Amino acid sequence: MKLTDDERAMLDGKQGPARQKAMDLLVRYGEALGAEDFVDTNNVCTSVGATTPFLRDFAAKAGGLDAAFSEFNLDSSEAVQIPKAKAFSCQLIQGLDPDHWQEQGVAPATRALHEVNESFSAGIGLQMMNTCTPYLVGNVPVKGEHCAWMESSAVAYCNSVLGGRTNTEGRESSSAAMLTGKIPNWGLHLDENRFGTHLVEVDAAVEDIMDWGLLGYYLGEAILDGLPVLVRRGKVPDLPRLKHFGAAAATSGGIEMYHIVGVTPEAPTLQEAFGGRKPRATLRYGRAERELAYRNLNAHATDTKVDFVMLGCPHSSLEQVWNAAKLLEGKRLHSGVNLWIFTPRSIREVADRNGYTKIITDAGARLMSDTCPALGQVMPKGVKVAATDSAKQTHYLPSIMGVQTWFGSTEDCVRAAITGRWEGALR
């Protein structure tokens, strides 16, 4: 790879051993990808802490969290002291909510480890956002900005809606980018790879969050890792709809970017979305495809007696928390059901001030932050049947947590939390 003087200095160890390890990792990574050089980045979303007994034991034996970071974030068996981040970097979603850890069934030792991890991460300059939706709480890249982000749903939103440029990075590459301010110049950093590959003619009604989740889930399965260009009628989708769409498409497939003609920033016209090229294939999304996506998502649920409802994957926007509070106001959950709603902590603080948290709590539900059931593997004890408005959680919960999971609208889910029965349907 072609290295600048600054990159060569880091690789030669002139900026310390940790940056040398990080740059060595990035050079190996870039060469494996066929990248010719690097781009500068000052926008990283990564994961440093991990609330697992394995990490706790490893850190204790190896000499602390510097050693754990060296091994698991820099691919280095040699423990080096980790310096302050060079690039602006944000912590992604974590394994627990430190305010609701007992309800989530987290062990006290794991809660204590979380505190140690947070202190270490903040000490090296990581912004403790602890969310899968960093764009909701201040990290909003501008069009053309080079980023190094983990988290598939955030990557899809960054590339598609904001026009930032990132591939789906891993823990190692994003951590190395945090210490160097560099990332290999390949994939979606390059103009030629940001043009559409598949034309999608959307004929079915796509209106609410559920509809957008169904569309995303269908396209992920149909296209896998292509770049769809959607042509549709109807209202311009808002942030929550696009958030759920990208998350679903990245879950059932590997879609990292999409275009919606006349909506997303790199698709003002159909011709510009494809860069003047012809699509590899044309897909039609109509009633039959919508019904197929719904059946696929609900294929692992048969029992209509629901005991857990989850909202907030990806983490809920303030508008979604507000809507949930309106649906719950003056009502009470069924005695056998837990309802957990997940949102970034800073949004939860606004919800506290607005009284939404009280409405939610008075109904018997909980407003949580920092984690989610699938990633944190946190769930009320004894859950057998769950319901959610998230295609992503519906996809993962049966395999990760071993529970039947229903997918439907937000209204369907809240109704199930109140009645204890799943009565959702495709309308």
Q: What is the pLDDT of residue 53?
A: 67
Q: What is the pLDDT of residue 279?
A: 98
- Three-state DSSP state, 101: coil
Q: What is the pLDDT of residue 60?
A: 74
* Angle in degrees, CA 372, 378, 384, rounded to 5: 110
Tokens 């202190």 belong to residue:
119
Question: Residue 180 — φ and ψ, nearest 5°?
Answer: -115, -25
Dig out the tokens for 338 from the structure: 């837990």
Q: What is the pLDDT of residue 82?
A: 97
For residue 422, give the amino acid letter. W
Buried b (16+ CB within 10 A) or exposed e, 379-397: bbeebebbbbbbbbbbbbb
Contact of 74 with 18, CB cutoff 8 Å = yes
Q: d(Cα 342, Cα 94) in Å, to the nearest integer? A: 12
- Three-state DSSP state, 16: coil
Q: What is the pLDDT of residue 391?
A: 98
Q: d(Cα 46, Cα 37) in Å, to the nearest integer? A: 22
Q: Which residues of the chain have pLDDT under 70?
A: 50-53, 56
CA 289 distance to own-chain centroid: 25
Mean pLDDT, the chain, whole residue set: 96
* Four-CA torsion 164, 168, 174, 176, nearest 10 degrees: -110
Report pTM. 0.96
| Residue 370 falls in which region: left (phi positive, over 0), alpha (psi -120 to 50) or beta | left
Contact of 37 with 115, CB cutoff 8 Å = no
Q: d(Cα 244, Cα 221) in Å, to the nearest integer? A: 15
Tokens 């309106």 belong to residue:
326
Strand 182-184 to strand 38-40: parallel, antiparallel, or no bridges (unpaired)? antiparallel
